[in-house]
């Protein structure tokens, strides 16, 4: 039996410990804000927080989440009004929007670690999150808006 906390709620899982966390979140808990992208941990669409750190849920086995806290985009803010979510709307970041939950989760982990990141730190942290629409400049602006640094 695997026990973990998802968005502040204690959960139990009694299935295959090798199953990716992504499928547990999407298929069993119906938390579909976390997206399947490449399945190889390369695109960042499936980014969630595991004990506060950004991880790729498609590459994290359920056994690796045992006893840990998982936060998905749904758990970042119940009302969808986390400062990053608000800045995403203010800057009008999304086009298709598919990658944006992973982008926001990656940015939230960055700002938790470095509240006033430099351009270089933003680029380094966000490097593994791919946006097919190319909204990278708006993503950077939205992060800087929340950080209170000059855009």
What does each of the 151 residues of the chain score in pLDDT, given as a tens digit?
999 999 999 999 999 999 999 999 999 999 999 999 999 999 999 999 999 999 999 999 999 999 999 999 999 998 999 999 999 999 999 999 999 999 999 999 999 999 999 999 999 999 999 999 999 999 999 999 999 987 6
Q: Residue 132 has what DSSP assignment?
A: T
Instruction: List the domains of the chain with CATH numbers.
Output: 2-76 (3.10.20.30), 83-147 (1.10.150.120)
Task: Note whether 39 and 61 are within 8 A (CB).
Answer: no
pTM: 0.95
Nearest Cα to Cα of residue 115 among 138, 93, 80, 143: 143
Kindly report the backbone phi and psi dihedral angles of residue 85, in degrees, each rounded to the nearest multiple of 5, phi listed first: -65, -40
Say what the pLDDT of residue 149 is.
84
Q: How far apart are CA 150 and CA 11, in angstroms?
A: 41
């Amino acid at each position: 039996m695997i026990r973990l906390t998802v968005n502040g709620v204690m959960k139990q899982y009694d299935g295959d410990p090798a199953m990716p966390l992504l499928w547990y979140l999407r298929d069993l808990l119906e938390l579909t804000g976390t997206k399947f992208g490449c399945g190889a941990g390369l695109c960042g669409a499936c980014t969630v927080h595991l004990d506060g750190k950004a991880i790729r849920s498609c590459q994290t086995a359920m056994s690796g989440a045992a006893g840990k806290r998982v936060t998905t985009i749904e758990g970042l803010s119940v009302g969808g009004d986390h400062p990053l979510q608000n800045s995403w709307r203010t800057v009008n970041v999304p086009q298709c929007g598919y990658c944006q939950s992973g982008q926001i989760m990656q940015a939230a982990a960055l700002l938790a670690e470095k509240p006033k990141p430099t351009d270089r730190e933003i680029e380094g942290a966000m490097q593994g999150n791919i946006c097919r629409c190319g909204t990278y400049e708006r993503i950077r602006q939205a992060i800087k808006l929340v950080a209170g640094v000059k855009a």
